[in-house]
Structure 1
């Protein structure tokens, strides 16, 4: 199946008369095209039915063979298709098919030079082996069969004796026939079970490549998934849902609803049950994570809760949060966003979980998340890095980099370093801000698919997604700063804010500066937008006096954070420090640190010199539309002596922009490290000792959106 169902629904429910051309006018759904999609669904199910029927027939034939007078024997440990010397070839310590034998093991001989010697034998300590006690009579070997437990060639296989009676042991040739190999059957049945399921709750489903149920039928109400379903409530009806679980059309006992074209159309339908939408996971910690999402549809009485399980079928639910009424925030059109943000805790560190959001009993697709390793324990992990997206209002825009990232394996989370969308809001209107940036990001279909597999580790805004029309020099006098930070708090799953931990209670003053550990790696996310100022003593972070009334983020970083990190490193608790600065560290271009804020750079580097126990440090940057690394050649701006630790830098940008050579000098092992690509990203693999491997990937992408590996940089090579 190659997207036939998807294409049918994309066509039937397209946004415009001509796909991708708004000027052609809004498209009205036609029942004839919905029926056509139904025929595609039926054809697909028929194909699966035929495949299942074929396997069922093979199994039936197999059962007919092995159950007609078949004598199933206790499994043998190993089997040999080569001749074995019975005089001394089955002694303790001998090897058959890669298996070292022990006295008492059972061995099946299949390829003796004299076929009459074939059969099941028992290994002896030394000397000649004899047939096993359950297979040493003619009546015991007739149609006998056995499963082989181990072995390079024969392990997991089953064989049956097909020689007809009468049999005279020692005289009659005993010929065995291969029946099946469990190793080949398991993937087939696993695929079918993973793809097509008849669940205990009465739902028959087909799953997509992410394991989400996209098509199915049920005779029970309250069972939810994205796709077409048949449910029974007051009367039998069909319901069509979009990829976020919203009911958009269907048929009930009164006729069709949700169809708006054709003479036989019904009236538009407003669902009474809400549905979780624009879900994302973040703030991963050893004992849990945070879930944030919107609730579309429903009533003022709608409630939401999160279910957490160790399996994606939710057969082992380990936690269910209390039912909560979503909180409301006003939209610019006078309506309201309904949202929830719930912290999940009490889980095991470094453990795979799945969760789903239930709204009025209807469940979202399963979402994968893994808790981070325990703090201060040496553990390897992998994350994805990048910045700079421009989605606009079209959720269907294809994003090759996000499709490529969704194919990555072993990823803990996505670290987004700013410009989550080029919203460039200039109106001081919190209602407008709520509809842009984070919600544009989460509304994109490719992003949603990625976030079902890989959670957001953390996110910090930059210029396009802070406030203003890409005004890089707009400083702390920015009139929209406070409301932008409020929207961040409302919508984004985040770690505890440092200022709140220090006792700040005024929301308008709180910056989203955060610190978190993954194993022995420590991350700090700096806010380089809210308090920057070029006049009155330039400051990037805010120094307590400039801007007036600011939080002394610079003083906290140099006087509290760095000394504590040095203490923890000396105690062996951390071995790598990652500094997340959306603003570029190297280069006097655009609005980077050296474009007016070099004095503050020097203060930071001097603080590093003053704390000699600091572990190796890496600055993570976005914003500059560059993919590059620096080995420390261009990162030291200290005036108090040379840095005592290596200060490397990774510029990982952009997800949806062409890469360029700007952003200052970047050198790795004496060579310019800039990489030119379109829509790239960085995979960062951190080892147990704190060293790392950075792999940049991006265009060109193949037909399945597999990216090209553009460059790798390993700190172990320095």
Structure 2
């Protein structure tokens, strides 16, 4: 019988102990692992035209407090195989990697020498157990112009706030590439960040501060089968935001005074690398981690993945929404000088049809004040106005054909036109921004008629907002980029359906968004204006209208 892709990837086939599999090289004849070590699933990431990274982490007891997953205190040999077919009959590469205690028994296999633009399938084995089967692919060959790319992007998955159904619904669409734009996991102790009506699930362990804490927390998230399905269906390209360390940190400045912050940051980076399909170039060195990088999809698209946390100046005037003259200081940067120069050089060298910035925080101006003052979020690019201006002018000076910014963070869907001068609504549009809602963060949310958000009246470049949870699916072709804003009606219960709330199109060489589909709120559905990121925290970014 031939297993369908859906059966392999989404129903958990090939999970657990498999009778008759050979014992991995160097393992004891009497199997010491008495439980399946592949409880955290598999993943792939950072594809190029020759290969990708394969990932897994062994953890028969994933919630162990020491963060080591109940593994024996010794290296474990893990075999891996890559095949051209989903039944793994035509194996093209195989090898053995060591899962070691010092890396929390994670495995990163960095492959090259494969064919460009191809789909591949992979699996791991260790001491008589087999992992789930994952699907991945290589990028197209340099210089080629693919006819299409199906790419989805997500952010902000707070385990306590709901079920990760959005991950599974995205997986069911079988994208070719997934971007995660930050807040993959949250640092809070159980009960300290709650949604109205109470959290449907709880975090294990204390607030994450040590390496053991972060390893345990990542493991808890990875046990979620909906998240595992999304990782197994396509290669991921990931960047972190703040909650992978702590809320609203900025370079070496913590949210609140903390003499141990740099040790905490180093621990968080180490655990992040151990749990993500990242290349060796991103291996942390103490408090530093090389995360900004490019992924090229032939000449169709170049993804410039940014890091807006590690090098930024501290937020001007404190966190939150402020009217703040210091936000316009030309010396301030959200990227740091080196990353900014790297990005501008990438614009100048690009031959891509679409140059896409994958990054964390809102790029367009969002003024929440209807009067003469400009009151904006100090944690977003609004708190670094000159930095945003340099990047925008940089893509214009380089003649970037189609600049598009992808964003997470704010726990709601948004779409906006990008301007050089937001004070002049008639100024020309120079790009587009697509913002994905959260997977779960801030709970169920609510629907609202398109255009009803009160900020639209004094931010005419904002085109769409919706406060249900979900993700964005894009279909990128040489002629256009179409973005489907998909939502789930609730996350407080599992297995919600997903549907497209709105679709926007960006045409080649025509900056700005054109809405092609709008599904009005269902009769009787809960509706409300947008609720903001991190509601209930003392340093919130509030999406509610302020006086």
2:272 counterpart SS class? helix
243, 246, 271: which is aligned to 2:34?
271
CA contact (8 A) 1:628 1:651 kept: yes
1:680 counterpart SS class? strand
45, 48, 61: which is aligned to 1:282?
45
Runs of 5+ in structure 2 lacking a partner?
24-28, 61-70, 190-206, 255-260, 319-325, 367-374, 508-512, 515-547
| Per-residue CA distance 1:393-447 (angstroms, 9 max, x = gap) | x9xx7432123112213x11221111112223766422212222x4333221111
1:229 is aligned to: none
Q: Output the CA distance in 1 between the equivalents of 2:56 and 2:285.
A: 25
Q: CA deviation at 1:566?
A: 2.3
CA contact (8 A) 2:188 2:208 kept: no
Q: Output the CA distance in 2 between the equivalents of 1:598 and 1:474.
A: 16
Q: Output the CA distance in 2 between the equivalents of 1:536 and 1:589.
A: 11
| Per-residue CA distance 1:595-634 (angstroms, 9 max, x = gap) | 432232223233334x2422221111111112121133x5
- Do residues 342 (structure 1) and 109 (structure 2) align? yes
388, 391, 416: which is aligned to 1:630?
416
CA contact (8 A) 1:356 1:364 kept: yes
Q: Structure 2 vs 1, CA of residues 715 and 357 (structure 1 numbering), >3 Å: closer, same or farther?
A: same
Q: Output the CA distance in 1 between the equivalents of 2:395 and 2:453.
A: 23
Q: CA deviation at 1:357?
A: 0.7
1:599 counterpart SS class? helix
CA contact (8 A) 2:250 2:311 kept: no
1:296 is aligned to: 59
- Do residues 654 (structure 1) and 451 (structure 2) align? no
Q: Output the CA distance in 2 between the equivalents of 1:314 and 1:594.
A: 46
1:491 is aligned to: 275
Higher relative contact order (CA 8 A, sep 6+): 2
274, 295, 310: which is aligned to 1:530?
310
| Per-residue CA distance 1:4-32 (angstroms, 9 max, x = gap) | xxxxxxxxxxxxxxxxxxxxxxxxxxxxx
1:434 is aligned to: 215
Q: Structure 2 vs 1, CA of residues 693 and 664 (structure 1 numbering), >3 Å: closer, same or farther?
A: farther
Listed as ranges, the matches of 1:157-306 within 5 Å are 193-194=2-3, 210=10, 212-213=12-13, 221-222=20-21, 271=34, 274-275=37-38, 277-297=40-60, 299=72, 300=74, 302-306=76-80
Q: Output the CA distance in 2 between the equivalents of 1:635 and 1:476.
A: 31
2:337 counterpart SS class? helix
Listed as ranges, the matches of 1:426-505 within 5 Å are 428-436=209-217, 438-456=218-236, 458-467=237-246, 470=247, 472=248, 476-478=252-254, 479=261, 480-495=264-279, 497=281
Q: CA deviation at 1:656?
A: 1.2
The aligned length equals: 437
Q: Structure 2 vs 1, CA of residues 646 and 439 (structure 1 numbering), >3 Å: closer, same or farther?
A: farther
Q: Structure 2 vs 1, CA of residues 448 and 215 (structure 1 numbering), >3 Å: closer, same or farther?
A: closer
Runs of 5+ in structure 1 lacking a partner?
1-191, 196-205, 225-232, 235-246, 248-268, 331-336
CA contact (8 A) 2:436 2:472 kept: yes
Q: Structure 2 vs 1, CA of residues 510 and 398 (structure 1 numbering), >3 Å: closer, same or farther?
A: closer
Listed as ranges, the matches of 1:15-414 within 5 Å are 193-194=2-3, 210=10, 212-213=12-13, 221-222=20-21, 271=34, 274-275=37-38, 277-297=40-60, 299=72, 300=74, 302-321=76-95, 323-329=96-102, 337-379=104-146, 380-392=148-160, 398-409=163-174, 411-414=175-178
Q: TM-score, normalised by structure 1?
A: 0.54
Pick the structure with greater CA Rg.
Answer: 1
- Do residues 708 (structure 1) and 499 (structure 2) align? yes
Q: Structure 2 vs 1, CA of residues 275 and 464 (structure 1 numbering), >3 Å: closer, same or farther?
A: closer
Q: TM-score, normalised by structure 2?
A: 0.69
